[in-house]
Structure 1
Amino acid sequence: MLTTVTLIKGDGIGPEITESVKRIFAAAEVPIQWEEENAGQTTLAEVGELIPNSLIESIKRNKVALKGPLTTPVGKGFKSVNVQLRQIFDLYQNVRPCVTTEGVQSKFTDVNLVIFRENTEGLYAGLEYFDERLQIADSISRITWAGSYRIVKASFEYAKKHGCKKVTLVHKANILKNAGMLFLKAGEQISKEFPEIEFDNKIVDNMCMQLVLKPQQFDVIVATNLFGDILSDLCAGLVGGLGLVAGANIGDEVAIFEAVHGTAPDIAGQGKANPTALLRSAVMMLHHMGLKDHARRIDRAIDETLKIREQCTGDLGGNASTQQYTDYVIEKLQN
C-alpha cells in the first residue's frame, strides 16, 4: 500500500533537487506516491498566489510534505511563505540535526547534535508596528508558557528516544527578564520529569562561543525562535554547510520536511545543485513515517557517495552534476 506525500518542488534549484529525491526513492522502492503542488514565487507568477489553496488542502489530507526551497518576493509586503506554513499548521518544532560526515571537509570532527527551535512565537510571531510619523518600528517578541513548555518537552522526549545524554536550553534571561525567564522556567520544570537526562542552560552569546570552541559537548539544544534560527545555521557551518543538513517542521498533526538552504537562482537549471540537504530531509521524513529500513538504506548510500570527493557536487569540491550525484547514490543503493 502506498502512502501519499505532498511534494512542493519550490523555486530556483528546487525542481532539480526534488527530481533527485524522486529518482532515488523510486530506485529504493519506497512505498510512497507524490502529490505535487507548489508555492512561492513560481506560483505567484503562474496563479497569482504565494500559497495556493490546493496546497493547503493537500497537506491537510496527507499530513506529511516534503518541500524544496521557496522564494518570498522581497519589498512587496508579502509575509514569508515558510513562516505562514508553520503558523497555518502549528508546526511548532523546527528540528535540525547537524552531524559530521566522513569525506566532507569541515572545521570539526565528531559533531553530533540536534537543534530544537520553537517555530511559531518569539520575534517571528508577526507582531510588528510602524509609526510613519516618527519613523519608529516595533517588533514584539511573544513568548508563552504553553509554547515554551511544548517545545522543551519535545526536545527532552527526543533525547530520551535517541539515547542523548544532555539537553541544553539557550536563552537571554539576564536581559530579557520576563520572556527569557519564562522559557528557562519551562526547561527547569520539564527537566524534573527526565532525571536520567542532564539539563543545563546557556546564555545565547556564551552558547555561540562554546559551539565554535567545542561543539562535541552538546547533544540536544532547545531555543526560542530567533536564537534557534541563528544557532541552527551556525551549527550547519560546523559540519560543512547548509547544503548538507536536514530540516523538519513538526506539529501534533502535520509535518513538513525541507531543505534549509536557499533557492540559489544563480545556478538554477545548470545541473550544479547539491541535493543532499533535501535528501537528508526526505530520510528524516521516512523515519517520521515509520519507514526506517528504507531511511537507513538511503542514508547509507548518501554517506558512501559523500566519502568520494569526485562523486560530490562542486560546492563540496567534486566534479559531479546533480544528475551524476544522484546516479552515484542510486548505484550505492544497489550494492
Structure 2
Amino acid sequence: MYNLAIISGDGIGQEVMSACEYLLDKLDLEFSFEYGEAGFECFNNNGTTLPEETIRIANKSDAVLFGASTSTPGEPSPIINLRKALNVYANIRPIKSYKGVNCIHDDIDFVIVRENTEGLYSQNEYGDCDKMIAERVITRHASERISKAAFNLCIKRGQSKVTCVHKSNVLKKTDGVFTESFYKVAKDYPQIQTEDYYVDAMAMYLITQPQNFDVIVSTNLFGDILSDESAGLVGGLGLAPSGNIGDHNGLFEPVHGSAPDIAGKNIANPCSMILSAAMMLDYLGEWEISNNIRNSVEKVIADCKIRTPDLGGDASTMEVTKAIVKELI
C-alpha cells in the first residue's frame, strides 16, 4: 500500500489529476490518497497559497502528485515553497520525441536536471517603487549536490555525457561557483564525458542539435526556461513530465501550468500528468508498471486517432486517458 499525497491545485491541474487518479485506480497496486490544497483557489479559501496542513500531508506520504497552480499576486509560489519544504532539490525533466508527433528531430531523448532550491527562485526580493532587487543565491553545497544527481542519472539512463549550462562569463561569482562545482564532481565520474555551454548558446543548440545531448544540468531559472523550450521540440508542455527528488521525498508534476483559458473544458492533455505518475512509480521502485505506462502512452500517441487539441485532435482529457488505460490493461 502506497500513501500518496494528491494536490490538484488550480485550473486544468484538477482535470489532469482526476485523469491520473482514474489510471492509478486501474493498476495492480494499492494506493491510499490523502488530499491537500494549494494555489489560487486555496488562497481565496484559506488566506494562504500553501497551508501547513498540505505540507504535513506531503511530508508523511510515500510520494506527492501535484497538478498545477495559478499565480496569486503578491503571494509566494506554492509549488516552489512545497519543493523547499520537502527539500526535493533535483528537478528532473525528461524530453523525448514520440512517433506520431510532428517534430523537426525524431531522435530526441535527453533529460534536464535543474537545481531546485536556490538561484533566482530563492524569492529574496526587495526595494522601493524605483528600484527592485532580486538576490541570486548559489552555494557550493547545492551546486555539487545537483551535479552528483546529474552524473548518477546519466549512469542510470545508460548514457555517456553530462552538459553543464551556465553564464559564468557574466555572472562570474555565482555561475562561477556552479561551474567549478560541476567540474569538481566530474572528477569522480571519469567514465562520463563532460562539457559546458553558456545558456544563450545552449538555447540555440537545443533547437539545432538536440539529439547531441544526454543529461543537462543547470541552475534553477535557466533549467526552467530551457526545459520549456525543449518541450516545444517534442509536441509541447502536454508531453512534458517532471519529478522533484530529494533524499527523503519525491514530488511529481506536469511541467505545464494551470491554463485557465481551457480550464473546465476537459480538453487538457493528460499525458504529462500520467508520465509524471510513471516517474513517481520509478521512484517507488515499480519499474515494470511505470514502463508499461510509458509504452501505453507512446502507443496512443503513435496511433494518432485519439489525441487532445494541443496535438491536433478533438478528444477529451478522459477519452485520451481511457485509451491509455485500454492499452495498459
Q: Same fold (TM over 0.5)?
A: yes
User: Matches of 1:122 and 1:47 in 2, distance apart?
Assistant: 29
Contact 1:309 1:317 in 2 (8 A): no
The one-letter amino acid paired with 1:253 is H
- Any idea what SS the aligned residue of 1:238 has? coil
CA displacement at 1:63 relative to structure 2: 4.2
Q: Which of 104, 117, 121 does residue 118 from structure 2 map onto?
A: 121
Identity percentage of aligned residues: 39
| 8 A Cα contact 1:148 1:186, kept in partner | yes
Native 8 Å contact 2:49 2:76 kept in 1: no
Question: Shift of residue 48 of structure 1?
Answer: 2.8
Match of 1:111 in 2: 108
Match of 2:152 in 1: 157
- Would you identify which runs of 4 or more consecutive aligned residues in structure 1 move more than 3 Å? none
Asked whether the equivalents of residues 6 and 34 of structure 2 are also in contact (C-alpha less than 8 Å), the reply is: yes
Structure 2: how far apart are the matches of 1:47 and 1:226?
29
CA distance in 1, matches of 2:203, 2:26: 41
Name the amino acid aligned to 2:8.
Answer: K
Which residue of 2 is the match for residue 6 of structure 1?
Answer: 5
| Match 1:273 to one of 268, 274, 299 | 268
* SS of alignment partner, residue 62 of structure 1: coil
Deviation at 1:103, TM superposition (A): 0.9
Hey, what's the Cα distance between the residues in 2 that align with 1:260 and 1:148?
Answer: 22
Report what 2:31 is aligned to: 32
Instruction: Give the counterpart letter for 1:25 in structure 2.
Output: L
Deviations 1:77-96 (A, max 9, x none): 10111111122222211110
> TM-score, normalised to structure 1's length?
0.95
Following the alignment from structure 1 to structure 2, what is the Cα–Cα distance between the partners of residues 23 and 124? Answer: 33
Kindly state the Cα deviation for residue 319 of structure 1 after the two structures are TM-superposed.
Answer: 2.0
Equivalence for 1:330: 325
Q: Deviations over 1:286-317 (max 9, x none)?
A: 00000111111111111111112220111111
Deviations 1:112-164 (A, max 9, x none): 000011111111112222134xx111112111110111001110011112211
The total of aligned residue pairs comes to 329
Distance 1:25 1:299 in 2: 13
Q: Which residue of 1 aligns with 2:20?
A: 21
Contact 2:154/2:162 (8 A) holds in 1: yes
Residue in structure 2 matching 1:179, options 174, 194, 200: 174
In 2, distance between residues paired with 1:207 and 1:315?
26
Query: Which of 223, 227, 240 is equivalent to 2:222?
Result: 227
Contact 2:65 2:252 in 1 (8 A): yes
* Contact kept? 1:92, 1:119, Cα under 8 Å: yes
Taking the TM superposition and a 5 Å limit, the aligned residue runs for 1:1-335 are 2-74=1-73, 77-132=74-129, 135-334=130-329
Cα distance between partner residues in 1 of 2:153 and 2:221: 21
What SS does the aligned partner of 2:232 have?
helix
Q: Distance in 2 between matches of 1:312 and 1:34?
A: 28
Structure 2: 5+ residue stretches without partners: none
Secondary structure (helix, strand or coil) at the match of 2:202 reads helix
Structure 1: which 5+ residue stretches go unaligned?
none
Write the distance in 1 (CA, Å) between the matches of 2:104 and 2:32: 39
Secondary structure of 2:122's aligned partner:
coil
Contact 1:93 1:116 in 2 (8 A): yes
- How far residue 193 of structure 1 moved from its aligned partner, in angstroms, is 0.5
Contact 1:28-1:298 within 8 A present in 2 as well: no
